[in-house]
Amino acid sequence: MPAFSPAVAAEPHPFARFVAILGRGKTRSRSLEISEAREAMAMILRGEALPEQIGAFLMLLRLKEETPEEIAGFTLGARDIMALPAKTPNVDVDWSSYAGKRRQLPWFVLSALLLARNGSKVFMHGTEGHTPGRVYTRECLEHLGFPIAASFDEAAVHIGAHNFAYVPLEVMSPKLKELIELRPVLGLRSPVHSFSRMLNPFDAPCMLQGIFHPSFMDTHVGAAVHLNQQDMAVFRGEGGEIERRPHKPCEVRTVHNGGTVDTERWPPLLPEPRQPADEQMDIAALGQLWRGEIEIDYAEAAVTGTLALALKAMRRVDSIDQAQAMAQSMWDARDKTSILNAA
């Protein structure tokens, strides 16, 4: 990345106009258009913006809160830079995992693997380590014996072998990984945390989104419409991940056919009170639950409830009741001797 030089400060930097659009003050500043956001993010990822500009840009966006158009533009800009293989695999669902879990284990990992074992091709991507004290998906998959793809080509091989692949963000975009890791430096999350979830590099027809703050539901839905995403479901997930909170009703915002937006209200699966925080967070429990060595009502409800949401978003069923029944059937019929699927 080029260093700042006072000698050239009199010459406007090409990226400066994007900072100026956001920071001209209450009456003159505005949000970025999709094309502007796309160009700005592509410049950042190509190393054409200065560190000072990137910090100012991200925090100005954070202050005003990013729009659906900006998230869509940033996603397109990142996709423009990604080096995809000439032949990408067919994928049914794009499953992002960026938040990490603090109160409960990531039971959704079993939901995704169960979906893969039942014939759907699942592409999962995410990152870890940006927030201390959380359990992240990568370590859970490694513990369960799943390989972590070191390239898009390797991910395609994993999808062919197991109907499932996990790719870390640094493989998709090392620069985006750097930007996410600025959180402790800047003290705040940035739009990178939002649009990385929507990268969908293999163009899966269905995308799942878990968010922590309900206000982001409209942002993701609007961005999905701008991106012409065929099907998407977004809901407030446990810890911000794509995981049903079994003791709570769940509002799910959906996008179908690239533009039809709807809201579904899913009933709770378990009665109150709220599940207490898991003090141990022992990832070995994931495999134990799969093998039937332990029984945890909350965990099973989280697995089947999350899987049901995925099945409904993929339009494999027509109703919430059908989705839950199918998910429960898949769970009951799972091969307890092996979690690794051979497609």
Q: List, for residues 8-57, the tens digit of each pLDDT value.
A: 557 889 999 999 999 998 889 999 999 999 999 999 999 999 999 999 99
What confidence score (pLDDT) does residue 188 get? 80
pLDDT digits (tens, 9 = 90+) for 136-173: 999 999 999 999 999 999 999 999 999 999 999 999 99
Q: 268 falls in which pLDDT band (50, 70, 90)?
A: very high
Cα Rg of the chain (Å, integer): 20
Q: Where are the domains of the chain?
A: 6-81, 93-332
Task: Phi first, then psi: give them for residue 221, nearest 5 degrees.
Answer: -65, -45
**Domain 93-332: assigned CATH number:** 3.40.1030.10
The Cα–Cα gap between 220 and 194 comes to: 8
SS3 assignment, position 253: strand
Is pLDDT at 1 greater than 60 in this prediction? no
The Cα–Cα gap between 294 and 287 comes to: 9
Q: For all residues of the chain together, what is the average pLDDT?
A: 93
Other C-beta atoms lying within 10 Å of the C-beta of residue 279? 7
Other C-beta atoms lying within 10 Å of the C-beta of residue 48? 15
pLDDT digits (tens, 9 = 90+) for 62-96: 999 999 999 999 999 999 999 998 889 999 999 99
Please enumerate in sequence order all residues whose Cβ is within 8 A of that of 208, keeping only pairs 6 or more positions apart, or say none: 93, 94, 95, 96, 232, 233, 234, 242, 309, 310, 313
Q: Which CATH class is domain 6-81?
A: mainly alpha
Q: In what order do the strands lie in the sheet with 231-236?
A: 164-168, 122-126, 93-97, 206-211, 231-236, 250-256, 260-266
Contact 110, 303 (CB under 8 A): yes
